[in-house]
């Protein structure tokens, strides 16, 4: 990986032997390994034993969870916040597991749409809730720094399962609590 970074620096017209750049290949390697650590983590380590039986039927919402990922098309960051909610059907998960799950999938080369679905599908399979919703709002540096160059733009994706998909009232409650406008009212 470090040799590849040296090659990139040369292709950009830089001298990788310049004193200020000598450690850049090593730093880029360390950075990329950290930013993509989700490939080397075990999902089982995050979720094994995380769900437990409980009769609660109250909606559980974890909102404004920050996340950072790398766009798989440009290797540029996208970042934002996630809102995740579910209505239990006899099973709960520790609240900290939701951000950990998001982080697990975000720390890979990604597209926002897939990241949203991965979080929703994994929680849905783990909890089998009556309803589940995931909304991600993100700024993509590939849209801000290059290409269209539209600073301030935010991409929003959502994945709804169960009664968040079929019941307009449940969906509206989730979106209102998450602070996301509901266009289906």
Query: Is there a single domain that holds both residue 67 and residue 129?
Result: yes
What is the residue range of 26's domain?
Answer: 2-35
Residue 162 burial (CB count, 10 A): 18
In this structure, is residue 184 part of a structural domain? Answer: no
pLDDT in tens, 54-86: 999 999 999 999 999 999 999 999 999 999 999
Q: What is the DSSP letter of 108?
A: S
Q: How far apart are CA 87 and CA 72, in angstroms?
A: 32
In this structure, is residue 185 part of a structural domain? Answer: no
Q: What is the pLDDT of residue 17?
A: 98
59 backbone dihedrals φ, ψ, rounded to 5°: -60, 135
Catalytic residues: 71-74, 112, 140, 142
How large is the average pLDDT for residues 3-23? 98
Residue 166 burial (CB count, 10 A): 11
Query: Is there a single domain that holds both residue 9 and residue 98?
Result: no
pLDDT in tens, 100-120: 999 999 999 999 999 999 999
In this structure, is residue 31 part of a structural domain? Answer: yes
In this structure, is residue 163 part of a structural domain? Answer: yes
pLDDT in tens, 31-53: 999 999 999 999 999 999 899 99
Query: Is there a single domain that holds both residue 108 and residue 74?
Result: yes
Query: Is there a single domain that holds both residue 46 and residue 124?
Result: yes
CB 132 within 8 A of CB 160: yes
In this structure, is residue 82 part of a structural domain? Answer: yes
Regarding pTM above 0.85, the answer is: yes
Q: Where are the alpha helices (DSSP H) in 12-111?
A: 24-35, 43-47, 97-106
Q: What is the pLDDT of residue 47?
A: 93
Q: How far apart are CA 25 and CA 1, in angstroms?
A: 8
77 backbone dihedrals φ, ψ, rounded to 5°: -70, 150
pLDDT category of residue 150 using cuts at 50, 70 and 90: confident
Query: Is there a single domain that holds both residue 46 and residue 31?
Result: no
Q: What is the pLDDT of residue 140?
A: 96
Query: Is there a single domain that holds both residue 104 and residue 156?
Result: yes
Q: Which residues pair with 61 in a beta bridge?
A: 85
Tell me how many domains the chain contains.
2
Q: What is the pLDDT of residue 185?
A: 53
| CATH code, 166 | 3.30.1130.10
pLDDT category of residue 147 using cuts at 50, 70 and 90: confident
In this structure, is residue 124 part of a structural domain? Answer: yes
Q: What is the DSSP letter of 97?
A: H
* pLDDT at 172 > cutoff 60: yes
CA neighbor of 85 nearest in space, from 156, 154, 155, 179:
179
Query: Is there a single domain that holds both residue 7 and residue 73?
Result: no
Query: Is there a single domain that holds both residue 30 and residue 104?
Result: no
Query: Is there a single domain that holds both residue 119 and residue 161?
Result: yes
Query: Is there a single domain that holds both residue 87 and residue 103?
Result: yes
* pLDDT at 161 > cutoff 80: yes
Query: Is there a single domain that holds both residue 26 and residue 52?
Result: no
Can you read off the two tokens belonging to residue 127?
């909890």
How large is the average pLDDT for residues 134-140? 97
């Amino acid at each position: 990986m470090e040799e590849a970074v040296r090659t990139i620096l040369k292709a950009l017209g830089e001298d990788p032997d310049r004193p200020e750049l000598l450690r850049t290949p090593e730093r880029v390697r360390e950075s990329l390994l950290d930013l993509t650590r989700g490939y080397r983590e075990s999902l089982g380590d995050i979720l094994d034993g995380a769900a437990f039986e409980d009769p609660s039927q109250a909606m559980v919402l974890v909102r404004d969870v920050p996340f950072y990922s790398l766009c798989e098309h440009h290797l540029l960051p996208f970042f934002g916040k996630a809102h995740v909610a579910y209505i239990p059907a006899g099973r709960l998960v520790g609240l900290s597991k939701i951000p950990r799950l998001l982080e697990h999938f975000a720390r890979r080369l990604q597209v926002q749409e897939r990241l949203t679905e991965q979080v929703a599908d994994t929680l849905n399979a783990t909890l089998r809730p009556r309803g589940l919703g995931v909304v991600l709002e993100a700024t993509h540096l590939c849209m801000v720094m290059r290409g269209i160059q539209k600073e301030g733009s935010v991409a929003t994706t959502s994945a709804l399962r169960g009664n968040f998909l079929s019941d307009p009232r449940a969906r509206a409650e989730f979106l209102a609590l998450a602070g996301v406008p509901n266009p289906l009212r």
